[in-house]
Amino acid sequence: MRAHLLNDTTAEHYRRSVTEGVERVARKLATTRRPFSGVGVDDLAPVIDRIDLDAPLGDTSAVLDELEDVYLRDAVYFHHPRYLAHLNCPVVIPAVLGEAVLSAVNSSLDTWDQSAGGTLIERRLIDWTAGRIGLGPAADGVFTSGGTQSNLQSLLLAREEAKTTDLARLRVFASECSHFSVQKSAQLLGMGRDSVVSIPTDHDKRMQTLALARALERCVSEGNVPMAVVATAGTTDFGSIDPLPGIAELCAQYGAWMHVDAAYGCGLLASPTPARRALLDGIERADSVTVDYHKSFFQPVSSSAVLVRDASTLRHATYHADYLNPRRAAEERIPNQVDKSLQTTRRFDALKLWMTLRTMGADGLGSLFDEVCELAEQGWQLLAADPRYDVVVQPTLSTLVFRYIPATITSPAEIDRANLYARKALFASGEAVVAGTKSGGRQYLKFTLLNPETGVDDIAAVLDLIAGHAEQYLGENLVHAS
Ligand SMILES: *Cc1c(COP(=O)(O)O)cnc(C)c1O
């Protein structure tokens, strides 16, 4: 059994095993013709349930053969140009290489004595990101597991910096299109569900600053405390960017913490196109920023960070333990990242971004994101000119929200059902994967474009497939009704 431990004597076994695994995945990537097999839960669950976990196969090849049946054949492949659903990106090779290195060495980034150079590499990337945002000389931050955790930590810091400890009086302001992790965080932070004030958005799904101003005024006049405003730079559904400079003004006026949730829009930080980078103007005034490298920096899950303007605010996440990060270590200026993190044992996810920047550079990464934003613009033109579809907003980033509208008069509820059906039927066919969401209470479909390999022809083809399924549903229903 020792043969399976990775060490000096098993280096050759490691090389052969990993190479064999890489070979299989490479073959899979090269031969996958559809983003999904279309398998259903009822078909796949018995295959996985049948595996006897107490009867190991012992041999890498046999395990990889089995993996084909339990996972690889039916996985959802984000690298396929017709995977157009959620905020998942195809990944860049230098980052995948980084992933292989970091899990083999298995550093843990909680303390210097479990990571050494890993800690310094993470710190350089935090400084690099903060520099791109423009947070100033006192900035700092830490890698996290994702945007959800980054938002939670930001709101924790905001709560601790707030002018009252009376949790019942604290209010957080976020647009109606903000991410649900804002509500979850408020709940976890003991502030209750009513503490998050939803601010309406304009036609372009951007927070209305006038409405925010009124809400802040009302908050204060009611004797409550505006703890934080969460501005979303790239809403999950529409990719819309809240008016950051106006929000920054209001935050300054009311003494509220400004958090920018750039989980999606952060890709613009690397854009070599000044006009695109300018979409984030005002982000430099934030007190904290969420960035998800695993969304628009083409990094494998997970890779994310929270950045703060004032490093000293991170002390609200600092606890000392004699067994890990004694106070003495901080006094000796030993860099223990756990002092800034909600996590303890923590992956060296920063290595993936490091390998990526050292291989491709920021411009290389940023131009990939630029490409998908341009593709979304072309997709929008296609949709706007297509009488079969209603499209919600012209994209700022790379999402398109639209719905199929039949030529014959049909009730809105029936149109909802036709769109839901089309999405499900498309998923079951495996030909393409698209997402769904609601807008104005009605059922819509969504493309999240993050693959530069997707072409306008793919978008056109998928729109035809969706229309086909929706027409089939409505046709069948008409037959059924008559
Ligand atoms: C995806 C997303 C999040 C959550 O990030 P995870 O990495 O999935 O935890 C938060 N905010 C926005 C705007 C997002 O799009």
Is 371 found in the same domain as 237? no
Residue 410's pLDDT band (boundaries 50, 70, 90)?
A: confident
Same domain for 241 and 261? Answer: yes
Domain co-membership, 378 together with 467: yes
Q: How confident is the model at residue 409 (pLDDT cuts 50, 70, 90)?
A: confident
**181 CA: nearest ligand 1 atom:** 10
- CA distances to 132, 240, 263, 392 from 203, rounded to whole Å, are 30, 10, 22, 9
pLDDT at 218 over 60: yes
Domain that holds residue 55: 2-77
Q: Is residue 84 part of a domain?
A: no
Looking at the structure, tell me whether residues 331 and 395 fall in a common domain: no
Task: Provide the percentage of residues in the chain whose pLDDT is more than 90.
Answer: 95
Cα–Cα dist 224/216, whole Å: 9
Nearest ligand 1 atom to the CA of 262 is 13
Q: If pLDDT is split at 50, 70 and 90, which confidence band does 213 have?
A: very high
400 phi, psi to nearest 5 deg: -135, 125
Check whether 273 has a pLDDT greater than 90: yes
CATH number at residue 11: 1.20.1650
Based on the domain organization, do 162 and 228 belong to the same domain?
yes
Asked whether residue 146 is assigned to any structural domain, the reply reads yes
Residue located nearest, by CA, to atom 4 of ligand 1: 147
**Amino acid sitting at position 391:** V
**What are the pLDDT digits (tens) for 249-260?**
999 999 999 999
How many domains is the chain partitioned into structurally?
Answer: 3
The answer on pLDDT for 482 being more than 70 is no
Give the residue whose CA is nearest to atom 15 of ligand 1: 236
pLDDT tens sequence across 435-444: 999 999 999 9
What atom in ligand 1 is closest to the CA of residue 146?
Answer: 7
Q: What is the mean pLDDT of residues 325-354?
A: 95
Whether the CB-CB separation of 373 and 397 falls below 8 Å is answered with yes
Whether 193 shows a pLDDT value over 90: the answer reads no
Residues 194, 286, single domain; the answer is yes
pLDDT tens per residue across span 20-37: 999 999 999 999 999 999
Average pLDDT over residues 367-396: 98
Q: Is residue 96 part of a domain?
A: no
> Do 181 and 142 share a structural domain?
yes
Three-class secondary structure of residue 288 per DSSP: strand
How many CB atoms neighbour CB 160 within 10 A? 15
Starting at the edge strand found earlier in the chain, the sheet holding 170-175 runs: 140-144, 304-308, 288-292, 257-262, 225-232, 170-175, 196-199
Q: Residues 331, 430: one domain?
A: no
Q: 290 CA to middle of ligand 1, Å?
A: 9
* Cis peptide bond upstream of 61, omega within 30: no
Question: How many Cβ atoms sit within 10 Å of the Cβ of residue 302?
Answer: 17
Residues 228 and 309 placed together within one structural domain of the fold: yes
Ligand 1 atom closest to 264 (CA): 15
Are 378 and 476 within one domain? yes
How many whole angstroms from 251 Cα to the centroid of ligand 1?
A: 23
Query: Is 374's pLDDT higher than 80?
Result: yes
* Ligand 1 mean position, distance from CA 9 (Å): 42
Residue 324 lies in a domain: yes
CB 221 within 8 A of CB 212: no
pLDDT of residue 479: 65
Matching residue, tokens 């929200």: 401
Ligand 1 centroid vs 389 CA: distance in angstroms? 28
CATH number, domain with residue 390? 3.90.1150.170
Nearest Cα to Cα of residue 236 among 276, 264, 277: 264
Is there a domain that residue 475 lies in?
yes
* pLDDT per position as a tens digit, 41-66: 999 999 999 999 999 999 999 999 99
Task: Report the pLDDT averaged over residues 282-311.
Answer: 98
List, in sequence order, every residue forming a beta bridge with 173; answer none if it has no partner. Answer: 197, 229
Range of lowest pLDDT (135-149, 322-336, 355-369)? 322-336
In a domain, 92, yes or no: no
Same structural domain, 301 and 400 = no
- Give the CA count within 13 Å in the CB-facing half-sphere of 6: 10
What gap in Å lies between CA 23 and CA 16, rounded to an integer?
10
Query: Among 347, 368, 403, which residue terminates a domain?
Result: 347
Final residue in a domain of this structure, among 308, 325, 347: 347
Q: Name residues contacting ligand 1 (CB within 6 A).
A: 87, 146-148, 151, 179, 181, 232, 234, 236, 261, 263-264, 292, 304
Strand ranges across the sheet with 442-448:
83-84, 433-439, 442-448, 399-404, 389-391
pLDDT of residue 481: 56
Distance 257 CA to ligand 1 centre (A): 19
Q: How far is residue 111's CA from residue 118's CA, in Å, rounded to a whole number? A: 10
Please indicate, yes or no, if residue 95 is contained in any of the structural domains.
Answer: no
CB 279 within 8 A of CB 396: yes
Report the nearest atom of ligand 1 relative to the CA of 302.
7
Question: What is the enclosing helix (H) or strand (E) of 142?
Answer: strand 140-144
> Which numbered atom of ligand 1 lies nearest the CA of 178?
13
**Interatomic CA distance for residues 87 and 398, integer angstroms:** 10
Q: Which residues contact 392 (CB under 8 A, 6 or more apart)?
A: 205, 238, 401, 402, 439, 444
Last residue of a domain, which of 347, 379, 407? Answer: 347
CA–centroid distance, 312 to ligand 1, in Å, is: 25
Q: How far apart are CA 234 and CA 172, in angstroms?
A: 19
What is the pTM for the complete model shown? 0.97
Looking up residue 139, the CATH number of its domain turns out to be: 3.40.640.10
Residues 118 and 44 in one domain: no
Helix (H) or strand (E) holding 110: none
CA 155–ligand 1 middle distance (angstroms): 14
Q: How far is the CA of 371 from the centre of ligand 1 (A)?
A: 21
Tokens representing 55 are 């009867």
176 inside domain: yes
